[in-house]
Amino acid sequence: MRELSESRQVYDEIDAIKRIAPAFATNCFSLHTRLQQWLDRKLLTGIRLENAFLLFQQDEGFHRLHFFATEPNALAAALGAKETTTYETVVCDIVGRPIDVDTMAGRFEGHGFHRYCLLHRLTRVNASAESATGGTGVTLATPEDSAVIVSALRQHFDPRAEQLPAASEIDEAVRRAQILVSRKDGKIAGFLYFEINGQTGIVRYWFVDPLYRDAGVGAALMRNFFERCRLTKRQLLWVIESNRNAIARYCHYGFSADNLCDQVMLKQRS
């Protein structure tokens, strides 16, 4: 296990695995967007094994595992290595088609992990311009809002399942005009954190304060998001399978499940 301080250290290890990979296996598909933030905050350690590179990211109270292996069996062997037992609590996301994810999850279960929760990806094909009318009373978040947003995320979301952003990420999202807020009675009643990547709009977090639910706050935020995505081809998000209320609301806005899921695995030393 070694602490990582430079992005080149990470990419060199990944490239070395890819060069000999007959069926490259990974759960990290957008590493470049967050790698430098993790390195700057000294959150990363890595293990290079014969046919796999395991990257551990320190989070609040646990470590998140990002894996890169020549093929699934090589990953299974890596999970059994004694070096992987360093941390008390490890969380790992397995992303893919349900049948492939289920098979991979079985490999993790053979090495002390259990299935923590399942998320589904929901997708919405962009609707007509007529339906993309922005919600009223919604503005962009300001730097003064960051602390309230961070607090709400920590209080109402599951860090193991939903990969909560650090305070610095929220500050950056505010600077990039990626967080919408709705205010009631002089306080933030709800917010929607989003990204637009090319032709895709992504809902990262949609939250309404329990005191203001069923008051049109969530609807206004979502309509404003749709308006900002009017030139994209689709919108997508991830939602926990057991959160039936959220799924129903997303379906109301035209989202539906596609063929991609995220099985969150958890390992805790007894």
- State the pLDDT at residue 26: 96
- State the pLDDT at residue 237: 98
The pLDDT confidence band at residue 1, using thresholds 50, 70 and 90, is: confident
- State the pLDDT at residue 135: 60
Decide if pLDDT at 270 tops 80.
Answer: no
State percent of the chain over pLDDT 90: 87
Q: Which domains, and CATH codes, for the chain? A: 2-120+263-268 (3.40.630.30), 127-232 (3.40.630.30)
Distances 66 to 26, 89, 112, 198 between C-alpha atoms, Å:
7, 14, 17, 25
- State the pLDDT at residue 192: 98
d(C-alpha 188, C-alpha 221), whole Å: 12
Closest CA to 267 of 141, 151, 116: 116
Decide if pLDDT at 238 tops 50.
Answer: yes
Decide if pLDDT at 130 tops 50.
Answer: no
State percent of the chain over pLDDT 70: 96
Beta-ladder partners of 200: 197, 234
* Global confidence as pTM: 0.93
Closest CA to 234 of 124, 150, 135: 124
Work out the number of other CB atoms within 10 angstroms of the CB of residue 129.
Answer: 10
Q: What are the structure tokens assigned to 63, written together?
A: 């470590």
Work out the number of other CB atoms within 10 angstroms of the CB of residue 9.
Answer: 14
- State the pLDDT at residue 129: 43
Q: What is the pLDDT of residues 89-99, one digit of tens each?
A: 999 999 999 99
The pLDDT confidence band at residue 127, using thresholds 50, 70 and 90, is: low
The mean per-residue pLDDT over the stretch 221-232 comes to: 95
Cα dihedral 57, 3, 34, 62 in deg (nearest 10)? 10
Range among 27-31, 78-82, 256-260, 266-270 with highest mean pLDDT value: 256-260
Closest CA to 65 of 167, 117, 52: 52
Closest CA to 123 of 251, 252, 235, 259: 235
> DSSP readout, the chain?
-EE---HHHHHHHHHHHHHT-SS-EES-S-GGGTHHHHHHTT-EEEEEETTEEEEEEE-SSSEEEEEEESSHHHHHHHHTSGGGG-SSEEEEEEEE-HHHHHHHHHHHHTTT-EEEEEEEEEEEE---GGG-PPPTTEEE--GGGHHHHHHHHHHHS-HHHH-PPPHHHHHHHHHTT-EEEEEETTEEEEEEEEEEETTEEEEEEEEE-GGGTTTTHHHHHHHHHHHHTTTSSEEEEEEETT-HHHHHHHHHTT-EEEEEEEEEEEEE--
d(C-alpha 218, C-alpha 17), whole Å: 44
Q: What is the pLDDT of residues 181-195, one digit of tens each?
A: 999 999 999 999 999
Q: What are the structure tokens assigned to 121, written together?
A: 């990806």
- State the pLDDT at residue 233: 95
Closest CA to 67 of 17, 119, 122, 22: 17
Q: What is the pLDDT of residues 53-71, one digit of tens each?
A: 999 999 989 999 999 999 9
Q: What is the pLDDT of residues 43-55, one digit of tens each?
A: 999 999 999 999 9
Looking at per-residue pLDDT, the higher value among 255 and 135 belongs to 255
63, 57 in Cβ contact below 8 A?
Answer: yes
The pLDDT confidence band at residue 14, using thresholds 50, 70 and 90, is: very high
Question: Out of 76-85, 159-168, 235-244, which region has the weakest mean confidence (pLDDT)?
Answer: 76-85
Q: What is the pLDDT of residues 131-185, one digit of tens each?
A: 455 567 899 999 999 999 999 999 999 999 999 999 999 999 999 999 999 999 9
